[in-house]
């Protein structure tokens, strides 16, 4: 007779941080983002079914003039489709406030101590209009944020890649390379973009300049990355490595119709 003990799957929190500023209305970017998220949900459910040891819980935090929980309750992935309502654009880019609000939910409690490293996906087409650094400091003070898989998708060429890189953090591989080359985070010491590195390393902002590429990156983050994060693999402390082995990025093809 097994005792009255609650055995449960380890929660895996997947949180979208979506820029809903006015500029997202341009060139149907908001429409493309909504469509990409909606389209990714069925495959996300499949990933959840393939990894029954993880309980995938989805939330969406939007930010424009203010940060706002669009889907605030950690929702089992198979219920997100029923509850999904499209994001709407309009206003500024309160990304710093979004970081603060995110920090508040990444504390224990409410986070379960046994939780898997969360997956945080920041999607933006612009630059913060509030105090982003203060928000980021609050966020990174939370151990769960430091443990999280942090990804960023830059929509169009106006996205502030420096800010998105700060959200992701330093690539440990870059740390090693930096000591040898004097370059940091995929950029030269003067901040110029290094040739051949733009957007094709998951530890750097992923550049989406058309709706197809955006959809591919959303799909990758919500399925391949979630699948990897669902399979915790322990490692020795102090190793220069991230907690989750990120899968290869999807191939991207330039869409001639829809360049942002």
Partner 1 sequence: MCGEVSWLPPCCESRVGAAHRRRGTPCQDASGLWWFADADGELLQALVVSDGHGSPRYDRSAVGSRLACEMTLQAIASELASSRIGASSDLEPWREWLAHGLPEAVVKGWRKEVLHHGQAHPRADGAPPSTLAYGATLGVLVLTPRWWGYTGLGDWDLVRTGSTGPGELLSEEPSSPGGGESTFSLCMEGAEQFFSCRSGLVPIEAGQEPFTLLLSTDGIRKSCGSDVDFLNLARHLGELPQSNDQGRFSTLAEALDHISSQGSGDDVSVAIARWGQPMDAPPLPAPWNEPLIVQPTEEAPLQPAGMESQPGDGALGPSEDGLCASDVSGKPGQGNRRGSLFWIALPLLVLALLAAGAGAMSWLGWYPFARREPVVDAQSPELMAVLQKEASRLCTPIPMPEPVPEATGAGGGEGSVGGPTLNAALLERINAALSQRHSTFQALLNGSPPRTFLRTPTHDPTGALIAWSRFHGQGLGPREMGWCPELRQALVQQWERVSLR
Among 41-49, 100-108, 142-150, 177-185, the segment contacting partner 1 (CB under 8 A): 142-150
Choose which of 43, 131, 177, 255 interacts with partner 1 (CB under 8 A): 255
Instruction: Say if CB 74 and CB 119 are below 8 A apart.
Output: no
Q: Check binding of 205 to partner 1 (CB under 8 A).
A: no
Among 36-44, 133-141, 153-161, 178-186, the segment contacting partner 1 (CB under 8 A): 153-161
Q: Closest separation between CB of residue 151 and partner 1, Å?
A: 15
Choose which of 147, 169, 170, 173 interacts with partner 1 (CB under 8 A): 147
| Ranges within 22-41 binding partner 1 (CB under 8 A) | 22-23, 25-28
- Can you spell out the DSSP letters for 208-220? E-SHHHHHHHHHI
Closest CA to 211 of 119, 123, 151: 123
Q: Following CA atoms 31, 34, 38, 44 in sequence, which dihedral angle do they give, to the nearest 10 degrees?
A: 130
Residues 6+ apart with CB under 8 A from 171: 185, 186, 201, 203, 204
Is the bond preceding residue 229 a cis peptide, omega within 30 degrees?
Answer: no
Please report, in angstroms and rounded to a whole number, the separation of the first and last CA atoms in the chain.
Answer: 61
| Interatomic CA distance for residues 206 and 4, integer angstroms | 47
Q: Which is nearer to partner 1, 93 or 101 (CB)?
A: 93
Q: Check binding of 88 to partner 1 (CB under 8 A).
A: no
Q: Which is nearer to partner 1, 71 or 209 (CB)?
A: 209
Q: Check binding of 141 to partner 1 (CB under 8 A).
A: no
Burial of 145 (0-12, 13-18, 19+ CB in 10 A): buried
Per-residue mark of binding to partner 1, 38-57 (x: CB under 8 A):
-------------xxx----
Q: Three-state DSSP class for 100?
A: helix
Closest CA to 202 of 151, 148, 145, 239: 151
Q: Which is nearer to partner 1, 34 or 51 (CB)?
A: 51
Choose which of 13, 18, 20, 21 interacts with partner 1 (CB under 8 A): 21
Choose which of 127, 153, 163, 226 interacts with partner 1 (CB under 8 A): 127
Q: Which is nearer to partner 1, 71 or 171 (CB)?
A: 171
Tokens of 222: 């919500």
Tokens of 77: 């992935």
Q: Check binding of 193 to partner 1 (CB under 8 A).
A: no
| Ranges within 232-251 binding partner 1 (CB under 8 A) | 232-239, 241-248
Q: Which is nearer to partner 1, 71 or 161 (CB)?
A: 161
| Interatomic CA distance for residues 4 and 128, integer angstroms | 50
Q: Check binding of 253 to partner 1 (CB under 8 A).
A: yes
Q: Closest separation between CB of residue 30 and partner 1, Å?
A: 11
């Amino acid at each position: 007779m097994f005792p009255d003990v609650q055995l449960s799957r380890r929660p895996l929190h997947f949180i979208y941080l979506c820029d809903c500023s006015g500029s997202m209305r341009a060139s149907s970017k908001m429409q493309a983002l909504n469509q990409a998220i909606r389209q990714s949900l069925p495959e996300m459910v499949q990933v959840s079914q393939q990894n029954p040891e993880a309980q995938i819980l989805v939330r969406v935090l939007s930010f424009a003039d203010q940060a706002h929980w669009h889907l605030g309750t950690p929702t089992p992935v198979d219920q997100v489709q029923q509850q999904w309502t499209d994001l709407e654009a309009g206003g500024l880019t309160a990304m710093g406030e979004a970081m603060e609000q995110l920090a508040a939910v990444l504390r224990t409690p409410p986070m379960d101590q046994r939780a898997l490293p969360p997956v945080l996906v920041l999607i933006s087409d612009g630059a913060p209009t509030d105090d982003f650094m203060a928000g980021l400091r609050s966020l990174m003070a939370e151990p769960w944020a430091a443990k999280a898989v942090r990804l960023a998708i830059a929509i169009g060429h106006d996205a502030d890649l420096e800010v998105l890189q700060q959200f992701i953090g330093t690539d440990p591989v870059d740390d090693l390379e930096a000591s040898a080359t004097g370059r940091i985070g995929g950029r030269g010491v003067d901040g110029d973009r290094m040739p051949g590195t733009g957007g094709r390393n998951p530890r750097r902002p992923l550049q989406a300049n058309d709706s197809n590429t955006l959809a591919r990156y959303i799909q990758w983050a919500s399925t391949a990355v979630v699948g990897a994060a669902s399979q915790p693999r322990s490692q020795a402390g102090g190793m220069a490595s991230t907690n989750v082995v990120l899968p290869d990025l999807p191939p991207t093809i330039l869409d001639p119709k829809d360049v942002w």
